[in-house]
Amino acid sequence: MEPLKGLLIVNLATNLPGPVAAMRLYRLGAAIMKIEPPSGDFLATAAPEYYRKLCDGQTVLALDLKTPEGKAVLDKHLKRADLLLTASRPRAMERLGLDWPSLQAKYPRLCHVAIEGYLPPHENRAGHDLTYQAEAGLLVPPSMPKSLVSDLVAAEQAAGAALGLLLARDRGGDAGHATVAIAAAAESLAEPLLHGLTGDGPLGGRHSGYGIYAARDGFVALAALESHFQQQLQEALALERINRDDLERVFLNRSASDWQTWADQHDIPLAVVR
Protein backbone atom coordinates (compact mmCIF):
# COMPACT_ATOMS: atom_id res chain seq x y z
CA MET A 1 0.00 0.00 0.00
CA GLU A 2 1.19 3.51 -0.83
CA PRO A 3 -1.32 5.85 0.84
CA LEU A 4 1.03 8.84 0.46
CA LYS A 5 1.64 8.37 -3.27
CA GLY A 6 1.56 11.72 -5.06
CA LEU A 7 2.66 13.71 -2.00
CA LEU A 8 5.99 15.54 -1.75
CA ILE A 9 7.87 15.89 1.53
CA VAL A 10 10.84 18.21 1.84
CA ASN A 11 13.24 17.10 4.56
CA LEU A 12 15.77 19.59 5.94
CA ALA A 13 16.76 17.29 8.82
CA THR A 14 20.15 15.59 8.97
CA ASN A 15 21.62 13.10 11.46
CA LEU A 16 19.07 10.47 12.55
CA PRO A 17 15.50 11.34 13.63
CA GLY A 18 14.51 13.30 10.52
CA PRO A 19 15.92 10.88 7.95
CA VAL A 20 14.39 7.88 9.76
CA ALA A 21 10.99 9.61 9.82
CA ALA A 22 11.38 10.52 6.14
CA MET A 23 12.18 6.90 5.27
CA ARG A 24 9.00 5.75 7.04
CA LEU A 25 6.98 8.21 4.95
CA TYR A 26 8.82 7.22 1.77
CA ARG A 27 7.85 3.61 2.35
CA LEU A 28 4.24 4.77 2.50
CA GLY A 29 4.56 6.20 -1.00
CA ALA A 30 5.62 9.82 -0.49
CA ALA A 31 8.30 11.40 -2.66
CA ILE A 32 11.12 12.74 -0.45
CA MET A 33 13.45 15.61 -1.29
CA LYS A 34 16.27 15.74 1.27
CA ILE A 35 18.06 19.06 1.39
CA GLU A 36 21.46 19.04 3.06
CA PRO A 37 23.85 21.89 3.89
CA PRO A 38 27.01 22.18 1.77
CA SER A 39 28.92 20.40 4.55
CA GLY A 40 26.68 17.36 4.10
CA ASP A 41 25.12 15.05 6.67
CA PHE A 42 27.26 13.80 9.59
CA LEU A 43 25.69 10.37 9.18
CA ALA A 44 27.19 10.02 5.69
CA THR A 45 30.66 10.00 7.23
CA ALA A 46 29.90 8.26 10.52
CA ALA A 47 27.81 5.40 9.07
CA PRO A 48 27.84 5.62 5.25
CA GLU A 49 25.91 2.40 4.64
CA TYR A 50 23.18 3.44 7.09
CA TYR A 51 23.07 6.87 5.45
CA ARG A 52 22.61 5.32 2.01
CA LYS A 53 19.85 3.06 3.35
CA LEU A 54 17.97 6.03 4.82
CA CYS A 55 18.31 8.02 1.58
CA ASP A 56 17.37 5.17 -0.74
CA GLY A 57 14.90 6.26 -3.42
CA GLN A 58 15.04 9.91 -2.38
CA THR A 59 16.33 13.03 -4.09
CA VAL A 60 19.26 14.53 -2.17
CA LEU A 61 20.17 18.14 -2.87
CA ALA A 62 22.92 20.29 -1.31
CA LEU A 63 21.80 23.88 -0.67
CA ASP A 64 23.21 26.78 1.30
CA LEU A 65 20.05 28.21 2.83
CA LYS A 66 21.97 31.22 4.11
CA THR A 67 22.32 32.52 0.55
CA PRO A 68 19.60 34.10 -1.62
CA GLU A 69 20.22 31.47 -4.28
CA GLY A 70 19.74 28.59 -1.85
CA LYS A 71 16.59 30.16 -0.42
CA ALA A 72 15.17 30.62 -3.92
CA VAL A 73 15.62 26.93 -4.76
CA LEU A 74 14.03 25.90 -1.46
CA ASP A 75 11.13 28.27 -2.07
CA LYS A 76 10.48 26.63 -5.44
CA HIS A 77 10.22 23.19 -3.82
CA LEU A 78 8.16 24.32 -0.82
CA LYS A 79 5.56 25.86 -3.13
CA ARG A 80 4.69 22.39 -4.42
CA ALA A 81 5.42 20.38 -1.25
CA ASP A 82 2.83 18.91 1.10
CA LEU A 83 4.97 18.71 4.21
CA LEU A 84 8.23 20.13 5.54
CA LEU A 85 10.27 18.10 8.01
CA THR A 86 12.91 19.92 10.07
CA ALA A 87 15.21 19.18 13.02
CA SER A 88 16.68 22.55 13.98
CA ARG A 89 16.15 24.70 17.04
CA PRO A 90 13.40 27.34 16.69
CA ARG A 91 15.79 30.29 16.70
CA ALA A 92 17.67 28.80 13.74
CA MET A 93 14.40 28.34 11.87
CA GLU A 94 13.45 31.95 12.58
CA ARG A 95 16.75 33.21 11.18
CA LEU A 96 16.03 31.30 7.96
CA GLY A 97 12.46 32.58 7.79
CA LEU A 98 11.18 29.01 8.21
CA ASP A 99 9.34 29.40 11.51
CA TRP A 100 5.72 28.24 11.46
CA PRO A 101 4.04 31.68 11.18
CA SER A 102 6.24 32.52 8.17
CA LEU A 103 5.65 29.13 6.54
CA GLN A 104 1.90 29.35 7.12
CA ALA A 105 1.69 32.79 5.54
CA LYS A 106 3.75 31.90 2.49
CA TYR A 107 2.71 28.28 1.85
CA PRO A 108 -0.90 27.79 3.01
CA ARG A 109 -1.05 24.11 1.92
CA LEU A 110 2.24 23.15 3.58
CA CYS A 111 2.20 21.13 6.79
CA HIS A 112 5.23 21.23 9.09
CA VAL A 113 6.69 18.73 11.54
CA ALA A 114 9.50 20.18 13.67
CA ILE A 115 11.74 17.74 15.54
CA GLU A 116 13.27 19.67 18.44
CA GLY A 117 15.19 18.78 21.57
CA TYR A 118 12.87 20.18 24.19
CA LEU A 119 9.42 21.61 24.60
CA PRO A 120 8.92 25.27 25.63
CA PRO A 121 10.28 27.07 27.54
CA HIS A 122 13.51 25.15 26.81
CA GLU A 123 13.02 24.75 23.06
CA ASN A 124 16.40 26.35 22.23
CA ARG A 125 18.41 24.28 24.70
CA ALA A 126 21.15 22.15 23.12
CA GLY A 127 21.07 18.38 23.36
CA HIS A 128 21.60 15.03 21.65
CA ASP A 129 20.38 11.47 22.17
CA LEU A 130 22.98 10.85 24.88
CA THR A 131 21.88 13.81 27.00
CA TYR A 132 18.18 13.04 26.52
CA GLN A 133 18.73 9.47 27.71
CA ALA A 134 20.81 10.72 30.63
CA GLU A 135 18.08 13.08 31.83
CA ALA A 136 15.40 10.39 31.47
CA GLY A 137 17.35 7.93 33.62
CA LEU A 138 17.99 5.45 30.82
CA LEU A 139 21.78 5.22 31.17
CA VAL A 140 23.92 2.92 33.32
CA PRO A 141 27.21 4.83 33.75
CA PRO A 142 29.88 4.55 32.59
CA SER A 143 28.54 2.40 29.74
CA MET A 144 27.43 4.17 26.59
CA PRO A 145 23.95 3.30 25.24
CA LYS A 146 23.74 0.47 22.72
CA SER A 147 21.38 2.40 20.44
CA LEU A 148 20.06 5.91 19.83
CA VAL A 149 16.67 5.03 21.22
CA SER A 150 15.52 8.60 21.92
CA ASP A 151 16.23 9.63 18.35
CA LEU A 152 14.50 6.56 16.93
CA VAL A 153 11.36 6.94 19.04
CA ALA A 154 11.19 10.64 18.13
CA ALA A 155 11.45 9.63 14.46
CA GLU A 156 8.44 7.33 14.81
CA GLN A 157 6.51 10.08 16.59
CA ALA A 158 7.43 12.53 13.82
CA ALA A 159 6.20 10.14 11.13
CA GLY A 160 2.96 9.68 13.05
CA ALA A 161 2.54 13.43 13.46
CA ALA A 162 3.09 13.90 9.72
CA LEU A 163 0.40 11.37 8.89
CA GLY A 164 -2.03 13.07 11.25
CA LEU A 165 -1.42 16.51 9.76
CA LEU A 166 -1.76 15.29 6.18
CA LEU A 167 -4.93 13.37 6.97
CA ALA A 168 -6.50 16.39 8.70
CA ARG A 169 -5.63 18.65 5.78
CA ASP A 170 -6.96 16.22 3.19
CA ARG A 171 -10.21 15.93 5.14
CA GLY A 172 -10.77 19.63 4.61
CA GLY A 173 -8.84 21.16 7.48
CA ASP A 174 -6.04 23.69 7.33
CA ALA A 175 -2.41 22.76 6.94
CA GLY A 176 -1.01 22.27 10.43
CA HIS A 177 2.15 22.26 12.51
CA ALA A 178 3.40 19.73 15.05
CA THR A 179 6.45 19.71 17.31
CA VAL A 180 8.10 16.47 18.40
CA ALA A 181 10.52 16.87 21.33
CA ILE A 182 13.23 14.22 21.60
CA ALA A 183 13.56 14.79 25.35
CA ALA A 184 9.86 14.01 25.73
CA ALA A 185 10.35 10.87 23.63
CA ALA A 186 13.11 9.78 26.02
CA GLU A 187 10.82 10.41 28.97
CA SER A 188 8.17 8.18 27.38
CA LEU A 189 10.78 5.42 27.10
CA ALA A 190 11.48 5.76 30.83
CA GLU A 191 7.83 5.21 31.80
CA PRO A 192 8.24 1.46 32.50
CA LEU A 193 11.15 2.29 34.83
CA LEU A 194 9.28 5.11 36.58
CA HIS A 195 6.27 2.84 37.15
CA GLY A 196 8.29 -0.02 38.58
CA LEU A 197 8.14 -2.54 35.74
CA THR A 198 11.89 -2.54 35.06
CA GLY A 199 14.82 -1.60 37.30
CA ASP A 200 14.09 -3.52 40.51
CA GLY A 201 10.64 -4.51 39.24
CA PRO A 202 9.29 -7.76 37.81
CA LEU A 203 10.72 -7.12 34.36
CA GLY A 204 14.05 -5.96 35.75
CA GLY A 205 15.15 -9.32 37.15
CA ARG A 206 12.82 -9.92 40.08
CA HIS A 207 10.72 -12.40 38.07
CA SER A 208 12.68 -15.66 37.67
CA GLY A 209 11.06 -16.46 34.35
CA TYR A 210 12.08 -13.11 32.88
CA GLY A 211 15.82 -12.58 32.89
CA ILE A 212 19.26 -13.23 31.45
CA TYR A 213 21.05 -16.46 32.27
CA ALA A 214 24.56 -17.76 31.62
CA ALA A 215 24.74 -20.80 29.36
CA ARG A 216 27.71 -23.10 28.92
CA ASP A 217 28.96 -20.52 26.46
CA GLY A 218 27.35 -17.10 26.21
CA PHE A 219 24.01 -16.01 27.61
CA VAL A 220 20.32 -16.52 26.93
CA ALA A 221 17.40 -14.16 27.51
CA LEU A 222 14.37 -15.94 28.94
CA ALA A 223 10.94 -14.27 28.82
CA ALA A 224 8.56 -16.89 30.26
CA LEU A 225 6.31 -14.26 31.80
CA GLU A 226 2.79 -15.60 31.27
CA SER A 227 1.57 -18.57 33.31
CA HIS A 228 1.30 -20.90 30.30
CA PHE A 229 4.92 -20.20 29.31
CA GLN A 230 6.02 -20.80 32.89
CA GLN A 231 4.13 -24.08 32.92
CA GLN A 232 5.74 -25.16 29.62
CA LEU A 233 9.18 -24.19 30.94
CA GLN A 234 8.67 -26.07 34.19
CA GLU A 235 7.48 -29.23 32.42
CA ALA A 236 10.15 -29.12 29.71
CA LEU A 237 12.92 -28.79 32.31
CA ALA A 238 11.29 -31.24 34.76
CA LEU A 239 11.46 -28.71 37.58
CA GLU A 240 9.25 -28.72 40.66
CA ARG A 241 9.10 -24.92 40.57
CA ILE A 242 10.56 -21.99 38.63
CA ASN A 243 13.20 -20.17 40.62
CA ARG A 244 16.40 -18.39 39.75
CA ASP A 245 18.80 -20.82 41.44
CA ASP A 246 17.43 -23.84 39.58
CA LEU A 247 17.38 -21.99 36.25
CA GLU A 248 20.97 -20.77 36.71
CA ARG A 249 22.08 -24.36 37.34
CA VAL A 250 20.14 -25.85 34.42
CA PHE A 251 21.14 -23.31 31.77
CA LEU A 252 24.84 -23.98 32.38
CA ASN A 253 24.37 -27.50 30.95
CA ARG A 254 24.05 -26.48 27.30
CA SER A 255 25.36 -23.87 24.89
CA ALA A 256 23.30 -20.78 24.21
CA SER A 257 22.58 -21.90 20.63
CA ASP A 258 21.43 -25.32 21.87
CA TRP A 259 19.03 -23.63 24.27
CA GLN A 260 17.66 -21.54 21.42
CA THR A 261 16.90 -24.67 19.40
CA TRP A 262 15.38 -26.35 22.44
CA ALA A 263 13.18 -23.34 23.21
CA ASP A 264 11.88 -23.17 19.64
CA GLN A 265 10.91 -26.84 19.86
CA HIS A 266 9.04 -26.28 23.14
CA ASP A 267 7.43 -22.94 22.21
CA ILE A 268 9.21 -21.06 24.99
CA PRO A 269 10.26 -17.40 24.49
CA LEU A 270 14.05 -17.56 24.75
CA ALA A 271 16.77 -16.04 22.61
CA VAL A 272 20.56 -16.05 22.44
CA VAL A 273 22.06 -12.76 23.64
CA ARG A 274 24.05 -11.51 20.66
CATH number, domain of 242, equals: 3.30.1540.10
Q: Is the CB of residue 229 less than 8 Å from the CB of residue 185?
A: no
Question: How far is 181 from 79, CA to CA, in rounded Å?
Answer: 27
3-state SS assignment for residue 12 = coil
Residue 187 pLDDT greater than 90, yes or no: yes
Closest to 21 in 3D by CA, of 152, 116, 169: 152
pLDDT digits (tens, 9 = 90+) for 198-228: 999 999 989 999 999 999 999 999 999 999 9
Range(s) of the domain holding residue 264 = 202-272
| pLDDT band at residue 249 using 50, 70 and 90 as cut-offs | very high
CATH number of the domain where residue 100 is located = 3.40.50.10540
> What pLDDT digit, counting tens, does each position of 14-68 carry?
999 999 999 999 999 999 999 999 999 999 999 999 999 999 999 999 999 999 9
Could you say which of 165, 192, 219 is where a domain stops? 192
Contact of 235 with 228, CB cutoff 8 Å: no
Cβ pair 86, 112 in contact under 8 A: yes
pLDDT exceeds 90 at position 246: yes
Instruction: Report if pTM > 0.75.
Output: yes
Query: Which is nearest to 57 in space by CA: 86, 90, 33?
Result: 33
Q: Distance of CA 197 to CAs 84, 192, 205, 207, 244, Å?
A: 38, 5, 10, 10, 18
